[in-house]
Structure 1
């Protein structure tokens, strides 16, 4: 199985930390998500107490005006440095091309 950084980066709270980082970078309060999520649920996500569905990730990212892959890349990068996120996205892009080529979907 492929590795995406050290094991510490894959902790259950990395998605929550990434969500909070992007939310704050966008200048959004938890209340700004009221059409797609309660403040309590969003707080639980940010603290790693709950795990969102892909549908919920998409809704949250629409509020933040970022692509869901941006959130996931930041979560897997495990840090705020651009190099870590770029590395994750580069690897994912290569793997996606390989999968599509292997399955003749392209």
Structure 2
């Protein structure tokens, strides 16, 4: 669902992903009959010009609405904060 929502919002067709995967594979992902690897999620997100987390957040939202995606991202932020990672940039 997330792939279809973002693809349509960007005005892309399934054929526009020929450099990433076949139209049949993209169609299978959109119908939920196949699951992509994380590497494939990254490739698709790059083709969509979005961060991979955007694609995943919409995927895990109850619906493709800003409110539901915000709930998913708030949960991620809470869980990351609970890990006690240091503040600031760098790696």
Under a length normalisation based on structure 1, what TM-score does the superposition of the two structures give? Answer: 0.77
Greater RCO, CA 8 A, separation 6+? 1
Name the residue aligned to 1:85: 69
Query: What is the CA-CA distance between 1:98 and the residue it aligns to?
Result: 1.2
Q: Which runs of 5+ in 1 are unaligned?
A: 1-16
Residue 46 of structure 1, aligned match among 11, 24, 30: 30
**Runs in 1 of length 4+ with deviation above 6 angstroms?**
none
User: Where does the alignment leave 5 or more consecutive residues of structure 2 unmatched?
Assistant: 87-91
- In structure 2, C-alpha distance between the alignment counterparts of 1:35 and 1:57, rounded to whole Å: 14
For 1:8-47, list aligned pairs within 5 A: 17-47=1-31
